[in-house]
Amino acid sequence: MAKKERKIQQMSGKNNKMLYNSLSDKLLLMFCYILVAVFSIICILPLWIALVASFTNEGELMRNGYTLFPSKIDFTAYKMVFTGTSSILNGYGVTIFITVVGSILTVFFTALTAYPLSLKVLRHNRVLYFFIYFSSLFNGGLVANYILTTQFLKLGNTIWVLIIPGCLSAYNFFLMCNYFKTLPASVIESARIDGAKDVYIFLKIVLPISKPILATITLFAAMGYWNEWNKALLYIDDAKLYPLQYIIMKMQNQIDFLTSSYGAKALEALGDVALPTVTIRMATAMITIGPIILLYPFLQKYFIKGIMIGSVKG
């Protein structure tokens, strides 16, 4: 079936090519190629410039400015980042921890909440569904959340404040619910009639056949946690708990933070050099996005799938 469809698609693709062969059509096609190519280059350009800058000597960067190619490769910035005293490595640890724990909690509890409501078995199904939906329409605002988190729940300055608020969201809940609704009802129904407990059905039958959506939600969540800094800005004062993104944020805004987080020790270890304040920021940004760039080509299809599921119906 799939093969046949692909064949039809290929044929129509060929037809498509044969259909248009006048000069104006060819010009338009050329325009499309150029536009897409130029836009792609623009997409990658800022990344490239920052990458080059991170491998440039600070003094040279000051003299020549940012360029497309380094005249000489220099590792000072990376050496600074990876000296034992830097807070970047600690930040990496925090970020990895919140990403791993946060994504697991998000995907598990989203699935756990979405499954019962996707079944249409519960009588109060619609009320409960709306209960979750309404949370995406109206919220208490920043102040109420701030007071709730810091004073009522006392989560301020703990690692959990970076994980728990925002762990479950109505959006992920809908994605998951919509997917569960597409599962064959007969499988679940017959398991129920055979006397299987709901928890057992959920863990042993539903989760294993829902791998695509679990992968998508896990990736969305992991992305969110990896890029997390808003909550650190609001709730974290303890430098040991700063995630990577927030460290970059601080470096951007406060030059003393940058100096203090590398400290005199790192400078001594590298010999007497002036602290490369700009190239260090570039290097830190590169190290932060490194894992994303390495993993993302393999994961891209799950993201695309997720966007498509999400765009079918709000």
Partner 1 sequence: MSTNNLSEKAHAGTTGKKIGFFRELYINKGLYTMLVPGLIYFCIFSYLPLVGLYFAFVNYDFMAGWYGLKSTFVGLENFVFFFTSDQWITITVNTLWLNFLFISTGLIVQIVLALCINELSGKIFKKSTQTVMFLPNFLSWTVISVFSLALFGSDGGFINNVLLFFNIDPIMFYQDPAVWPAILVILRIWKGAGFGTVIFLSTISGIDQEMYEAARIDGANRLKSMYYLTLPMLKPTIVMLLIMSMGSVFAGDFGMIYALVGDNPLLRPTTDVIDTFVYRALRVNNDIGMSSAVGLVQSALGFIMVMTTNAIARKIDKDTALF
Q: Is 10 in the site for partner 1 (CB under 8 A)?
A: no
**Six token digits for residue 119:** 């079944």
Closest distance to partner 1 from the beta carbon of 79 (Å): 19
Closest distance to partner 1 from the beta carbon of 229 (Å): 6
x/- mask, partner 1, residues 152-191, rule CB under 8 A, reads: xx----------xxxxx----x---------------x--
Q: Is 49 in the site for partner 1 (CB under 8 A)?
A: yes
Which of 28-36, 69-77, 96-104, 255-263 is the region at the interface with partner 1 (rule: CB under 8 A)? 28-36
Are 216 and 302 spatial neighbours (Cβ–Cβ below 8 Å)? yes
Closest distance to partner 1 from the beta carbon of 125 (Å): 10
- Binding-residue total with partner 1 (CB under 8 A): 114
Q: Is 284 in the site for partner 1 (CB under 8 A)?
A: yes
Which string of DSSP letters, residue by residue, matches 249-301? HHHHH-HHHHHHHHHHHHHHHT-S----HHHHHHHHHHHHHHHHHHHHHHHHH
Residue from 1, 2, 42, 294 touching partner 1 (CB under 8 A): that is 42
Are 61 and 76 spatial neighbours (Cβ–Cβ below 8 Å)? no
Which string of DSSP letters, residue by residue, matches 79-121? HHHHSTT-HHHHHHHHHHHHHHHHHHHHHHHHHHHHHHHHSS-
* Rounded Cα distance, 314 and 311, in Å: 6
Closest distance to partner 1 from the beta carbon of 124 (Å): 8
How buried is residue 158: exposed, middle or buried, by Cβ count under 10 Å (0-12/13-18/19+)? middle
Residue from 64, 71, 182, 260 touching partner 1 (CB under 8 A): that is 64
For partner 1, the binding residues in 118-157 under the rule CB under 8 A are 119-123, 128, 131-135, 137-148, 151-153
For partner 1, the binding residues in 68-107 under the rule CB under 8 A are none
Q: Is 311 in the site for partner 1 (CB under 8 A)?
A: yes
Residue from 6, 7, 20, 238 touching partner 1 (CB under 8 A): that is 20
Angle between helices 277-312 and 244-253 (to 10 degrees): 130
Are 249 and 21 spatial neighbours (Cβ–Cβ below 8 Å)? no
Closest distance to partner 1 from the beta carbon of 111 (Å): 9
x/- mask, partner 1, residues 227-266, rule CB under 8 A, reads: x-xx--xx----------xx-xx--xx-------------
Q: Is 22 in the site for partner 1 (CB under 8 A)?
A: yes
Nearest to 87 by CA among 203, 210, 208, 236: 236
Eight-state DSSP code of residue 204: I
